[in-house]
Amino acid sequence: MIRPQFFYELLKENGTDFFTGVPDSLLKNFCAYLTDTAGSKNHIIAANEGCAVGLAAGHYFATGSVPLVYMQNSGLGNTVNPLLSLADEEVYSVPMLLVIGWRGEPNVHDEPQHIKQGRVTCSLLEAMEIPYCILKEEEQEAKAQISNAYVHIKTESSPYAVIIKKGTFDSYKLKTNEAVPAEISREEAIEKIILNAPLNACFVSTTGMASRELYELRDKHGQGHAKDFLTVGSMGHASQIALGIALSKPDKKIFCIDGDGAAIMHLGALTTVGTQKPKNMVHIVLNNGAHDSVGGQPTVGRKINLCAVAEACGYTKVVSVKTIEELETQLKDLSSAEETFFIEVLVTKGARSDLGRPKSSPIENKKAFMNFLEDKND
């Protein structure tokens, strides 16, 4: 395994002192070391991976030094435009090192949403004509690979990618783990929401822990899973899925269970919800100020006013709650109301250690959900 400290010092030796990206579970130990070591001006957790490429480019333009952009391979899609129309050697020729966690690596067990992405990761880089290597797990071999990467980056003045397999980085525990004050957990909030929702309501839940908790809570209460669409991939797009349903099914109450990291990733989505003003949609952001599913790295969710953003975007009712009682009051108020609601719920970081994963496949989930939406009797 590669020690995060060794990798960080290797990057510094090659002239990289600016780091940005979106946390990934395969990179969490390295990201944690960055958070503890690099400083807030030299390590910025970006809203999304495309933004990270822009930040890196700006740093290069200002300093001439080679920046690093990290991401899960699912975030490659967010980077395609800026990598090809900004950083590419035929445009502005921006040197940068891309560090990419390889979820869904072929012949390695992973979740369904990662399988295709993992299979085509190398092909995507090849299609974009970005050279890459798969980092070795032995430190001296990795050092030689990184040296070769920097030779290309500096000679060609263009991006180079380093792909990180599962288990490459040695463990490292985040020391500067910021406290996030809250009285209720995310799971407690989700439980209160589903128990107070109208019987014909359907749910669209965001990527990560929220969907897993929703799935297990349905089992706990014997409610079945047909009313829920679990957005196991496509981080940041749950609200638009919910909006598409709300506009087509005005007779049903649509709940979007979102996270602060996901909502921030594609914050512009709020403008579409707010201007369309569906009278049957409730957008709930469970805000714990963290990317909880990939190591608990911080978001800016607790440093900005999400409610003010939603109100400015046109949501008709906006509220922030911090207790179960406040949440229950708001849920009772909206059960019969015809407005576009935005509810921020301040929740704690973390999840149960025994939290499972959905047992049904995405295709099975989709079919059951569509059948529920089609049922005229519900």
DSSP conformation class of 151 = H
Domain map of the chain by residue range? 4-164, 186-374
In this predicted structure, what is the pLDDT of residue 335? 66
For residue 22, give the nearest of 66, 63, 55, 60 by alpha carbon: 55
CA–CA distance, 349 with 184 (Å, rounded to integer): 10
For residue 19, give the nearest of 6, 3, 4, 8 by alpha carbon: 8
- Using a pLDDT cut of 70, give the percent of the chain over it: 99
Show the DSSP H helices in the chain as ranges: 4-13, 28-37, 49-63, 76-82, 112-127, 139-156, 186-196, 209-220, 238-248, 260-265, 269-276, 306-313, 324-334, 362-374
Q: Is pLDDT of 327 > 90?
A: yes
Q: Is pLDDT of 224 > 80?
A: yes
In this predicted structure, what is the pLDDT of residue 377? 59
CATH topology agreement for domains 4-164 and 186-374: yes
Q: Is pLDDT of 370 > 90?
A: yes
Write down the mean pLDDT value for the chain: 95
pLDDT in tens, 248-264: 999 999 999 999 999 99
Q: b/e map of 282-314 (b: 16 or more CB within 10 Å)?
A: bbbbbbbbbbbbbbbbbbebbeeebbebbbebb
CATH annotation of 4-164:
3.40.50.970
In this predicted structure, what is the pLDDT of residue 378? 56
Q: How many Cβ atoms sit within 10 Å of the Cβ of residue 277?
A: 12
Q: Is pLDDT of 292 > 90?
A: no
For residue 184, give the nearest of 322, 46, 285, 352 by alpha carbon: 322
Q: CA angle, corner 287, sides to 353 and 297, nearest 5?
A: 60
CATH annotation of 186-374:
3.40.50.970
Q: Is pLDDT of 376 > 70?
A: no
Q: Is pLDDT of 208 > 90?
A: no
